[in-house]
Structure 1
Amino acid sequence: MSELVRWEMDEESVVVEIADQDIGGFQAIGIGEGGVLEAKGRFEESLRNVRSAATKALDAFRDNQLNPDGIELEFGVKFNAAAGAVIAKASSEAHFIVKLTWTRQER
């Protein structure tokens, strides 16, 4: 089963579907089954740690040794009441896909 959880943002809110085991720590704002739960904290705050991790990962590939022309970083984000947003795991490990591209220079 899953529940719907609302995070407040600057001028609106976002609703996210969350697995039951990740619900602890939310305050209910709906009544009965199907009620939307209110998250503690703001949506931007819950993504702060994930953003910081993404920045550090990108910085690791933006060096003078590899010097790629393009970097794509893909990972899943899971929302949890206690931790906010976390990098989702695929099986027992965190899931990252990194794609580096180089454009061949004409001679």
Structure 2
Amino acid sequence: MGQLVEFPSADGGTVTVEVADRSGGVVTRGPLHGLAVPERATQSFEDAMGRIQPAVQAVIAQLRSLAQAPDEIHVEFGLGLNAEAGAFVAAAGTSANFSVALTWHRDGSGNAAP
């Protein structure tokens, strides 16, 4: 099991997430259902998630700007969370992985709908 990081939320609650183990000592901040919460994030969960908005918006904007824009866009990517860095697009190895599906609907004649 990885370490737990507690993110404060805008409504005054908390969101606890499991992150990969980091090297170094664990500083226990308080109990969570019998588990120690080793680290408290310095930013809210909403602020952390807000960090990925520019990347998501850029991907969608670029796909919508295609000469023949798709009718549907489906983008999948992994998110990582870190107590200091917040949210980020998770990478496998040295590159980030995006799964993209674009859909164009055709009219009854077999031609792409306008």
Same fold by TM-score greater than 0.5: yes
SS in 2 for 1:10: coil
* Greater strand share, structure number: 1
Provide the rounded CA distance (Å) in 2 between the counterparts of 1:65 and 1:41. Answer: 40
* Correspondence 1:1-107 to 2 at 5 A: 1-11=1-11, 12-21=13-22, 28-30=28-30, 34-36=35-37, 37-107=39-109
Cα gap change, 1:22/1:86 in structure 2, threshold over 3 Å: closer, same or farther?
farther
Aligned-pair RMSD on alpha carbons? 2.5
SS in 2 for 1:46: helix
Contact 1:5 1:16 in 2 (8 A): yes
Deviations 1:36-85 (A, max 9, x none): 13211100111112121001100000015031000011100011233211
Q: Percent identity?
A: 35
Contact 2:40 2:83 in 1 (8 A): no
State TM-score, norm by structure 1. Answer: 0.83
Greater Rg by CA:
2
Provide the rounded CA distance (Å) in 1 between the counterparts of 2:49 and 2:98. Answer: 16
Contact 1:23 1:81 in 2 (8 A): no
* Greater helix share, structure number: 1
State TM-score, norm by structure 2. Answer: 0.78
Cα gap change, 1:83/1:22 in structure 2, threshold over 3 Å: closer, same or farther?
farther
